[in-house]
Amino acid sequence: QVQLQESGPGLVKPSETLSLTCTVSGYSISSGYYWGWIRQPPGKGLEWIGSIYHSGSTYYNPSLKSRVTISVDTSKNQFSLKLSSVTAADTAVYYCARDSDPIVPAALFDPWGQGTLVTVSS
Amino acid sequence: AIWMTQSPSLLSASTGDRVTISCRMSQGISSYLAWYQQKPGKAPELLIYAASTLQSGVPSRFSGSGSGTDFTLTISCLQSEDFATYYCQQYYSFPRTFGQGTKVEIK
């Protein structure tokens, strides 16, 4: 079964770049589907950040697009998130997820990783 | 972006109750709507997609309906494990957006 695991620093300083990696097991990223990042500020709702295909094709949320880069490393079966110029408003649990819709890109998120809390603070 | 309004934000119910959660869209999205369940400290889980199709393994007490701008998630007989927060999500257009969530709590 597909499993995803986020990894990366739990604390990032304001104005720096947040970097997270999602390691996928039980499924080859190269086999298909989009792979995405979603975040959830403490006590708040969910925000889609962006998604990537194994070819490198991406979709980004326009609200974050100027600061976000999502990349994929098929050799390691991983995909990554970089968010630059972070502020306290970027403090959130960051989830990675697989898109489960084989037709509509970056549509449905299932399964998800367990999530990782990233705090932006000096 | 397409915005959604979920109601109610908080729903107090008892085990065995029938509960309904509404999700209204700012514009029509056909049936490109999903529902997720999130328990405290856990990642969301996909319950329903295409407005009314149950994800594999989801109990049949969950059902979804609607199309266009108005959608409903119904739990026919609330079980203890159903107390959680529920989110709707549209995938009709980019950016993908979620509702603000409905917390179902024990009455």
B2-22 pLDDT, tens per residue?
999 999 999 999 999 999 999
Among candidates B49, B91, B100 on the partner chain, residue whose Cβ is nearest the Cβ of A45 = B100
* Residue numbers in B near A42 (CB within 8 A): none
pLDDT at residue A27 in the model: 95
> Which residues are bridge partners to A72 per DSSP?
A79
Q: Which residue of A has its CA nearest to B42?
A: A114
pLDDT at B28 over 90: yes
Which residues in B have their CB inside 8 Å of a CB on A?
1, 32, 34, 36, 42-46, 49, 55, 87, 89, 91, 94-101
| Region B19-26 average pLDDT | 98
3-class state of residue B11 by DSSP: strand
pLDDT at residue A101 in the model: 86
- Nearest chain B CA: its distance from A98 CA (Å): 11
CA B38 to CA B60: how far, in whole Å? 18
CA B50 to CA B33: how far, in whole Å? 5
Count of CB atoms situated within 10 Å of the CB of B29: 20
Tokens of A84: 């630059």
Check: CB of residue B85 under 8 Å from CB of residue B104. yes
* Residue numbers in B near A106 (CB within 8 A): 91, 94, 96
- Interface touch A109/B46, C-beta < 8 Å: yes
Q: Which residue of B has its CA nearest to A117?
A: B41
Tokens of A42: 């403490």
- Interface touch B91/A46, C-beta < 8 Å: no
pLDDT at B107 over 90: no
- Interface touch B44/A45, C-beta < 8 Å: no
pLDDT at residue A121 in the model: 97
* Residue numbers in A near B94 (CB within 8 A): 59, 61-62, 106
- The DSSP code for B68 is T
CA A109 to CA B61: how far, in whole Å? 22
pLDDT at residue A32 in the model: 86
- The DSSP code for B96 is P
CA A19 to CA A89: how far, in whole Å? 16
Average pLDDT, chain B: 97
pLDDT at residue B22 in the model: 98
CA A40 to CA A38: how far, in whole Å? 7
**pLDDT tens per residue across all 122 residues of chain A:** 999 999 999 999 999 999 999 999 999 999 989 999 999 999 999 999 999 999 999 999 999 999 999 999 999 999 999 999 999 999 999 999 999 887 889 899 999 999 999 999 99
- Beta strands A11-12 and A116-120 are parallel
Among candidates A48, A108, A113 on the partner chain, residue whose Cβ is nearest the Cβ of B43 = A113
- Interface touch A106/B94, C-beta < 8 Å: yes
Contacts of B66 (CB under 8 A, 6+ apart): B23, B31, B33, B51, B52, B72
The percent of residues in chain B predicted with pLDDT above 90, rounded, is 97
